[in-house]
Amino acid sequence: MGFDLNSPAAARRASRLAQHGWRRSRRPVGLPTRGKTACNRLRRVDVFLLLYDAHLLRREDGLFTGAWFVDLGYGAEPVTTLESAARFRRINPHLPVMGVEIDPLRVAAAQPFADERTEFRLGGFNLPLRRLQAGQSERVRAIRAFNVLRQYKEEDVEPAWSELASAALPGALLIEGTSDPSGSLWVANVLRRECSAPCWRPEALVFSTKLRTPFAPEAFQAVLPKNLIHRMQPGEMIYDFLEAWKHAAQVTAHERVWGERRRFVAAGQKVRAYGFCVDVRRRWLARGYLLLQAPFYKRRSDGGDA
Ligand SMILES: C[S@@+](CC[C@H](N)C(=O)[O-])C[C@H]1O[C@@H](n2cnc3c(N)ncnc32)[C@H](O)[C@@H]1O
């Protein structure tokens, strides 16, 4: 996904960050950045999560009892955290929701909105989890980090992800991505915490559009997550995929007479026929979500008419 988790360079970066206190420190790990947010900016991320893994948000068995949904880096106002809490509690009224911010003033400003199931805490990529009785720590079922890593360097992505993995339950999800200011357009990594070790397994790369304006795959380039945005070069997975999707959109342009949605569906099906692992179920494409499933690379064996 843009970098090799096991490369010597990755080991060097992890070691450098360890020396600077990124690991094992209880100080919030990360840097305060601009706090721009907006009401309903992440509505389609919530809808996506509800469609993708409602069971994870609902489950209360074993270690998942009382496990948090974390909105990391909620911004100047806690609107996205409160909106997610309201949406997810339609399927799990007891779901605990934690907004985490590295800026203390933003944490203080959010306190009036806290209640018995909603908390706002000062923290960073090393999530501010408390010790429970019996020496155990609080648990996390899912983490959303939107428009947070875009303001970091590409080399910071991997240590941030692994810091988050150490806090997540086996089977937990991380959705980490970038959106435009209104949330009309976004791209996100969907990662699953491995059961056997505290690391993430990529499950999908999701492209989301409200389909209000004419759909163009190249528009997603501006909202690629940090691990991909500097990788738009021939031979990189993301470049090859966007080129293929652009081609698919051109050859399905005639579908536009039936509306932008029909064309989005047709282009998604076409790029799948080119051999990319696109989930072509209507539950995704007809709603303006294109899921590129891991492994992300083109499978030449079932390539069609590229
Ligand atoms: C651009 S805002 C995004 C707000 C919201 N997530 C959204 O998408 O509308 C990014 C926020 O992330 C916070 N932030 C940056 N690094 C962080 C970290 N390591 N831990 C927690 N918050 C962080 C910044 O302080 C800022 O308020």
| C-alpha distances out from residue 262 to 172, 188, 255, 286, Å | 33, 23, 6, 8
Regarding the beta carbon of 32 and ligand 1, being less than 6 Å apart is answered: yes
Distance CA 214, CA 6 (A): 40
Q: Look at residue 306 in the predicted model and tell me its pLDDT.
A: 41
Q: Look at residue 103 in the predicted model and tell me its pLDDT.
A: 97
Regarding the beta carbon of 217 and ligand 1, being less than 6 Å apart is answered: no
Q: Look at residue 26 in the predicted model and tell me its pLDDT.
A: 77
Q: CA torsion angle for 103, 104, 110, 115 (degrees, to 10)?
A: 120
Q: Look at residue 282 in the predicted model and tell me its pLDDT.
A: 94
Q: Look at residue 10 in the predicted model and tell me its pLDDT.
A: 42
Question: pLDDT below 70 — which residues of the chain?
Answer: 1-25, 299-306
Q: Look at residue 163 in the predicted model and tell me its pLDDT.
A: 97
Distance CA 153, CA 39 (A): 27
Q: Look at residue 212 in the predicted model and tell me its pLDDT.
A: 87
The CA radius of gyration of the chain, in Å to the nearest whole number, is: 19
Distance CA 55, CA 49 (A): 10
Of the candidates 277, 245, 285, 242, which has an alpha carbon nearest to the alpha carbon of residue 261?
Answer: 285
Regarding the beta carbon of 203 and ligand 1, being less than 6 Å apart is answered: no
pLDDT, tens digit, 9 for 90 and up, residues 86-121: 999 999 999 999 999 999 999 999 999 999 999 999
* C-alpha of residue 305 to centroid of ligand 1, in Å: 43
Instruction: Decide if 96 contacts 69 (C-beta within 8 A).
Output: yes
| Domain 8-209 architecture | 3-Layer(aba) Sandwich (3.40)
> Which residue, by CA, sits nearest to atom 25 of ligand 1?
32
* C-alpha of residue 180 to centroid of ligand 1, in Å: 14
Q: Look at residue 109 in the predicted model and tell me its pLDDT.
A: 98
Atom of ligand 1 nearest to the CA of 145: 6
Hey, where are the domains in the chain?
A: 8-209, 232-302
Distance CA 231, CA 251 (A): 25
Regarding the beta carbon of 101 and ligand 1, being less than 6 Å apart is answered: yes
Q: Look at residue 6 in the predicted model and tell me its pLDDT.
A: 39
| C-alpha distances out from residue 285 to 98, 128, 183, 210, 272, Å | 31, 37, 17, 11, 12
